[in-house]
Every structure is written in C-alpha cells, then in structure tokens.
Amino acid sequence: MKYAFHLLFVILFFFASCEKKDNPITLPAKGDGSIMQVDMGENYDYQFYINLDLGKVVHATKNNLYHLAFQSGDNQQGVLTNSGQGMAVYNTGKSDFAAVDFNDTSIAYRNWKYDAPSNEIDSSAIGNWGSKSNIYLIKLGKTNARVRKFQIKYVDAFQYMIHVGDLNSTTGADITIFKNKDQVYTYFSFDFLTTVDDVEPAPNVKWDFVITLYNNTFYDQNPALPYVVNGVLFHPATVGTVDSNSVYNAINKEFASTRAFVSKKDVIGYSWKNYDRDQNLYTVNNKYNYIIQNGNGRFYKLRFLDFYSSTGIKGSPKFEYKVLQ
C-alpha cells in the first residue's frame, strides 16, 4: 500500500510538471474610482443608458424594438435607421410607388447605404430627403430577406406622413407619425406599422451615453465592409476625447481642462476592445483612456476593464470611471 501511494505521488508530480503554464495577465493599476458592468447578453440583445452623476444604469431596453428613428423637434426632419440591426437604405430616385418593385432590388443589393457611426443626420443613409418624396428600399436586418419600400411624403412641427408597403404592393398605406415631443426621436416599427415607446429614457431621466449596437463601415477593406459593432454612443449633450499617452490614475481636472473635446457620438465607439479571430477572443485595449464632459458640465475619466462576465460570457462591458474635481 505504501509503495502504491508513493507511485501515485510520482505520477501526479510528473503530469503537474508537464502541464502547460498559463501566461500571466497584466492588469491595469487599480484606480480609486467606481466600477460598473452591464450584461448585454451573449448576442447583445440589450442596450443600457448610463448616468455617471448617479453612477447607475437609468434605462435598459432591447435594441430591436424599432426600425426608424424620426427627429422629434419642431423644425427637424431627419430620419435614422436602427443600424445595430444591420439595416440599410437605397434611394431608388423614383417617386411613383407602383414603379418600384423586385427589379430595383438587384441594384439596391449592390448599393445599400448605411448610417454613419456618428449618427449625424447629414451622413445618414436617408440623408436630407427634403421635399423630394423619393421611394426608398430598406432592408430590415443584416440579410436581404426582408426588404420594404417607403416614402416620406410630408413633415411639419407635429407629424410625419410616410407611405409604406411590400415590394409587390402598388398602393401601399399612408401612416401618420406624430412627433413625440418628450423624446429626442420618435420610433417606428415596420413589424407593427406604428410608433413604439420605451426605446430611449423618459424626458426627465438624464443620461450621458448608451452602450449599444450600431453600424461601422470599415473603409480599409476592399470593398468597404459595413459591420455591426458593440460600443458606446454619447448623448447629444455629452462631449469627450480619447487619450492614449497618459497614465489613467494621473489624469486630473487640470489636465482635462486643457483637452479639445468633440461632440461626435462615437468618440468612445467600439475600439476600446480588440477581437482575435483565431482565438475567438476579445481583449480590452488598455492604452485608451477617455475624458468626458457631460451635460451638467462635469468632467469624468473612464477606461474599460473587461468585455466578459464573471462566468466568461462575452457581452458584459466593464468600465471604471471617476469624476474629476
């Protein structure tokens, strides 16, 4: 029995010594701020609106509730797509609804236009439609399986009038979209042919940025590659800048006040993480620090720590932040 125990010990020691050692992971130096993590789900089904002053998520919702977002302001007429669902638009240049059919799809499939990641109206897929009343083809997802046609016929301070239908429809249907003055956008679903609520926070709820899905077109690919990414988009009142030269813990308000801030929605965007296709693994890009000034004028520094949950499931962005006083 004593000999058998000794032999077992030798065998276990041999296999332990031959086991491949893990490479050490270099963690960033611990900061003195707060940490927040959200769980979008492995398929990124949910989006989260963040208020840094309160230090919490102030609104969470599924990101596939709508297809089009109409500006709600009295003098506004811009229309965005839900680009996080892979949506795209093609302007047929025609104004006769019945004249647009399946014959137009072969051209559309080669010329889809996507909203820019900045979500600016002048660089949107629909663009400045003005009073042209052209017919658009719109794909409702990442594939060409669901394509509809629609026309924006009229807008004033209170409403939009659109005309929608299937590809084989000759008349379609007129739909009035009343502007929701309590929100930045009024949201419309082709699935229900009506407006939908609960996409953005209520008007009395302040937020600084949303963690969500959106389209980014990679122009370094040939041809250019539109791709749905997971990232961060600012509230219209939030501005920020990226810093890759400073030590996170050394960033203070004096340093922040010397920086040039921009109002693009995708200042943070998606590039805080990298994807290794061979290993099917996301890693955080530790060189990027972000400095944010929110709508209340407060400065924050922020950096990302992880993209995985405690159980190893992707889609759980984790970040550290601190108000600069």
Q: For each of the chain's 325 residues, which pLDDT tens digit applies?
A: 444 444 433 333 333 333 333 343 455 666 779 999 999 999 999 999 999 999 999 999 999 999 999 999 999 999 999 999 999 999 999 999 999 999 999 999 999 999 988 777 888 999 888 767 899 999 999 999 999 999 999 999 999 999 999 998 999 999 999 999 988 899 999 999 999 999 999 989 999 999 999 999 998 888 889 999 999 999 989 999 999 999 999 999 999 999 999 999 999 999 999 999 999 999 999 999 999 999 999 999 999 999 999 999 999 999 999 999 8
Q: Amino acid identity, residue 112?
A: W
Nearest to 177 by CA among 284, 80, 71: 71
| Length in residues, the chain | 325
**Per-residue CA distances from 32 to 29, 62, 187, 321 (Å):** 10, 32, 40, 9
Give the integer Cα–Cα distance in Å for 126 and 133.
Answer: 11
Nearest to 120 by CA among 59, 66, 171, 76: 76
